[in-house]
């Protein structure tokens, strides 16, 4: 038995764990990072990186088909799905170089492979053998896909995000169950690559957490592209007949059969915590994940949990943000708190969906003077030059010009968020944002446009009054 003591043990080498381990080592702690398989986590292997790489290929295929929009001859691309997946694998290999054990060693982090489980509140077993002690522990074990209890689904066979990036054949007919960000991103990508996609969404709208106008603009775009979107549709059972998988969907009181060659389940992910033996450490958890306070500490003050495993928002940048807070709080007895109110969200569909902060409805509940300003992208020259002028930026502001929320759909909408998040974080109001010079012709001119509109609609009276007062 190899018995060793560490200042900080990090369990899980994904987005949250890598950040915690590197930060801990840079702060001078003796750190061990333990992963049961490989470093990089869902984001690198089955999430952000492969999905965005797939989306890039699918977008190009779509643009080739519609090249006449840009004054070129339209062309039907030949899709070799194995070549597409090989490109994705090579991108993963390049991105993963930063996450290798060698790269971690350079930061001063020791890496061990094997499933970690608690023996006591300070002692961990790694795989079948090694045991270590740690003064502090950060748990970052992520999440896994959750299949809905639809009768016949399991027997018929289905895919989740762990399977789709190793497909060797493109399903001719593909049913995607779930119309959240992952279902929408992958559904559109496979449709553009040539699958006939049916998206089955239980909610009345797709991306239901987003602004209703954003949801309906995305729905329109999907329908225009030929994706068969069924909203307010409940998959009640699945039947398998030879190679065909039939999803029986209840919609408007009637049952419809959607025939498919493959089913992708994208109905949510649940915290991966079962194998940790949290009871041995006396760490509290429930069906959502490990219970943490705002400092990300569990009920055991020296054990922290970050990222998907604590049941909070499931984003790489959120896992990283939480990891920084937890590591600081552990090693410096700090009291930094997480605050998701300024968490930016991007869904990488085309058009892209991006949002931060409050919806108008939420804002009105807190600020009676909250209202909305919109910049349609057909008024943004860059969007016109790109022939991508559909979409809009909607800003929710209060009477004092404070930005309370932003909701956008359109080309690279996610890129608009950085400036807005910075303004919200540091109390920079919309007029101040608008007074900064925004390079022409960038998409950020949309934000400038909203600021101008706001000024001329509501700011002019007081401005004019001050001007005339000088005469
Ligand atoms: C298809 C898809 C697309 C996505 N796209 C985006 C996106 O564009 N942007 C974005 O911000 N987020 C995206 N996400 C979400 C993002 O991938 C996750 O929120 C993020 O990876 C969570 O990080 P984490 O550190 O909590 O967990 P993970 O990155 O999943 O890491 C968990 C690690 O813990 C290890 N582990 C588990 N149990 C144990 C154990 N007992 N012992 C040792 N190791 C263990 C696992 O092997 C894994 O390496 C996407 C997710 C999916 C599925």
Q: Give 276's contacts (C-beta < 8 A, 6+ positions apart).
A: 11, 116, 117, 118, 139, 141
Q: Give 158's contacts (C-beta < 8 A, 6+ positions apart).
A: 147, 177, 238, 245, 262, 263, 264, 265
| pLDDT exceeds 60 at position 8 | yes
Residue 70: its pLDDT value, please?
98
Contact 442, 382 (CB under 8 A): yes
Mean pLDDT for 152-170 is 97
pLDDT in tens, 38-92: 999 999 999 999 999 999 999 999 999 999 999 999 999 999 999 999 999 999 9
For residue 321, report the distance from its CA to the centre of ligand 1, in Å: 14
pLDDT in tens, 168-217: 999 999 999 999 999 999 999 999 999 999 999 999 999 999 999 999 99
Mean pLDDT for 154-179 is 97
Q: From the CB of residue 144, how many other CB atoms can be counted at a distance below 10 Å?
A: 16
Residue 128: its pLDDT value, please?
82
Pocket of ligand 1 (CB under 6 A): 11-17, 34-37, 41-43, 46-48, 51, 115-116, 140-142, 161, 182, 272, 275-276, 307-309, 314-317, 319, 348
**Separation CA 214–CA 354 (nearest Å):** 9
pLDDT in tens, 435-454: 999 999 999 999 999 999 88
| pLDDT exceeds 60 at position 464 | no
- Pick from 116, 145, 110, 108: which is nearest to 32 by CA? 110
Residue 245: its pLDDT value, please?
98
| pLDDT exceeds 60 at position 465 | no
For residue 471, report the distance from its CA to the centre of ligand 1, in Å: 63
Residue 469: its pLDDT value, please?
46
SS (H, E, C) 128-150: CCCEEEEEEEEECCCEEECCCCC
pLDDT in tens, 282-298: 999 999 999 999 999 99
Any idea which residue has 């003796």 for tokens? 30
HSE of 228 in the Cβ direction (CA atoms, 13 Å)? Answer: 15
Query: Would residue 307 be called left, alpha or beta, if left means φ above 0 and alpha means ψ between -120 and 50 degrees?
Result: left
| pLDDT exceeds 60 at position 330 | yes
For residue 308, report the distance from its CA to the centre of ligand 1, in Å: 7
Q: What are the C-alpha distances in Å from 285 to residues 83, 222, 305?
A: 43, 39, 11
Q: From the CB of residue 407, how many other CB atoms can be counted at a distance below 10 Å?
A: 26
Mean pLDDT for 9-37 is 98
Residue 457: its pLDDT value, please?
74
Which has the minimum average pLDDT: 26-35, 151-160, 456-465? 456-465
List phi, psi (to 5°) of 293: -95, -175
Token pair of 16 as six digits? 């949250």
Element (H, E) at 112: strand 109-113
Residue 460: its pLDDT value, please?
56
Cα dihedral sign for 450, 453, 457, 461?
Answer: positive
DSSP string, 49-107: HHHHHHHHHHHHHHHHHTGGGGTS----PPP-HHHHHHHHHHHHHHHHGGGSHHHHHHT
**Separation CA 447–CA 433 (nearest Å):** 8
**Separation CA 281–CA 300 (nearest Å):** 8
Pocket test for ligand 1, best of 34, 47, 144 (most atoms within 8 A of CB): 47
| pLDDT exceeds 60 at position 356 | yes
Helices 15-26 and 316-332: angle between axes, nearest 10 degrees? 30
Work out the angle at residue 38's Cα, subtended by the Cα atoms of residues 183 and 58, and round it to the nearest 5 degrees.
30
For residue 101, report the distance from its CA to the centre of ligand 1, in Å: 18
* Residue 106: burial class (beta carbons within 10 Å; 0-12, 13-18, 19+): exposed
| pLDDT exceeds 50 at position 471 | no
pLDDT in tens, 104-137: 999 999 999 999 999 999 999 999 889 999 999 9
Cα dihedral sign for 24, 25, 30, 36?
Answer: positive
Token pair of 168 as six digits? 């060797």
Express as a percent the part of the chain with pLDDT over 70.
Answer: 96
Residue 1: its pLDDT value, please?
42
Ligand 1, residue 15: give the atom nearest the CA: 25
Residue 154: its pLDDT value, please?
97
DSSP string, 384-429: HHTT----EEEEEE-TT--EEEEEEEETTGGGGHHHHHHHHHTT--
**Separation CA 441–CA 459 (nearest Å):** 25
For residue 13, report the distance from its CA to the centre of ligand 1, in Å: 9
- Pick from 126, 124, 98, 95: which is nearest to 18 by CA? 98
pLDDT band with cut points at 50, 70 and 90 for residue 461: low
Whole-number mean pLDDT of the chain?
95
Work out the angle at residue 35's Cα, subtended by the Cα atoms of residues 31 and 39, and round it to the nearest 5 degrees.
95
**Separation CA 345–CA 446 (nearest Å):** 18
Residue 48: its pLDDT value, please?
98
Token pair of 295 as six digits? 């400092």
pLDDT in tens, 235-278: 999 999 999 999 999 999 999 999 999 999 999 999 999 999 99
- Pick from 187, 192, 224, 225: which is nearest to 206 by CA? 187
- Check residues 333 and 254 and name the one with the higher pLDDT: 254
Q: Which residue lies with its CA nearest to atom 15 of ligand 1?
A: 315
Buried b / exposed e over 445-458, threshold 16 CB at 10 Å, is bbbbbbbbbbbeeb
pLDDT in tens, 409-438: 999 999 999 999 999 999 999 999 999 999
Q: From the CB of residue 65, how many other CB atoms can be counted at a distance below 10 Å?
A: 15
């Amino acid at each position: 038995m190899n018995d060793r003591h560490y200042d900080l043990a990090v369990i899980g080498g994904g987005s949250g764990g890598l950040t915690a381990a590197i930060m801990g080592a840079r702060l001078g702690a003796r750190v061990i990072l333990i992963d049961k398989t490989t470093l990089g986590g869902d984001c690198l292997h089955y999430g952000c990186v492969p999905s965005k790489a797939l989306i890039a290929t699918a977008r190009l295929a779509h643009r080739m088909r519609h090249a006449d929009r840009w004054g070129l001859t339209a062309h039907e691309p030949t899709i070799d799905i194995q070549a597409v997946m090989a490109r994705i694998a090579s991108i993963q290999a390049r991105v993963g170089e930063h996450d290798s054990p060698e790269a971690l060693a350079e930061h001063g982090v020791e890496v061990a492979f094997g499933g970690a489980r608690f023996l006591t509140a300070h002692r961990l077993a790694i795989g079948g053998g090694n045991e270590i002690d740690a003064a502090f522990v950060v748990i970052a074990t992520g999440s896994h896909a959750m299949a809905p209890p639809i009768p016949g689904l399991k027997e018929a066979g289905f895919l989740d995000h762990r399977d789709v990036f190793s497909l060797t054949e493109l399903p001719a007919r593909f049913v995607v169950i779930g119309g959240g960000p992952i279902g929408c991103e992958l559904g559109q990508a496979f449709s553009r690559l040539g699958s006939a996609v049916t998206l089955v969404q239980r909610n009345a709208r797709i991306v239901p957490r987003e602004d209703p106008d954003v949801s309906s603009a995305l729905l329109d775009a999907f329908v225009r592209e030929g994706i068969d979107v069924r909203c307010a549709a409940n998959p009640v059972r699945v039947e398998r007949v030879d190679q065909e998988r039939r999803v029986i969907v209840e919609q408007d009181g009637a049952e419809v059969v959607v025939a498919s060659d493959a089913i992708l389940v994208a109905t949510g992910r649940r915290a991966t915590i079962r194998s940790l033996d949290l009871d041995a450490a006396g760490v509290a958890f429930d069906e959502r994940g490990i219970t943490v306070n705002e400092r990300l500490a569990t009920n055991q003050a020296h054990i922290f949990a970050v990222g998907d495993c604590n049941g909070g928002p499931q984003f790489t940048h959120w896992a990283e943000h939480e990891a920084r807070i937890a590591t600081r709080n552990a090693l410096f007895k700090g009291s930094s708190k997480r605050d998701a109110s300024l968490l930016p969200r991007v869904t990488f569909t085309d058009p892209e969906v991006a949002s931060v902060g409050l919806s108008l409805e939420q804002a009105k509940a807190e600020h009676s003077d909250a209202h909305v300003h919109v910049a349609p992208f057909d008024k943004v020259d860059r969007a016109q030059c790109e022939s991508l002028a559909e979409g809009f930026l909607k800003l929710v502001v209060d009477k004092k010009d404070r930005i309370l929320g932003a909701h956008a759909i359109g080309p690279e909408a996610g890129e608009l968020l950085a400036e807005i998040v910075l303004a919200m974080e540091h109390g920079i109001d919309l007029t101040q944002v608008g007074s900064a010079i925004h390079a022409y012709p960038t998409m950020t001119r949309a934000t400038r446009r909203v600021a101008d509109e706001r000024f001329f609609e509501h700011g002019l009276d007081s401005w004019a009054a001050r001007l005339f007062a000088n005469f």
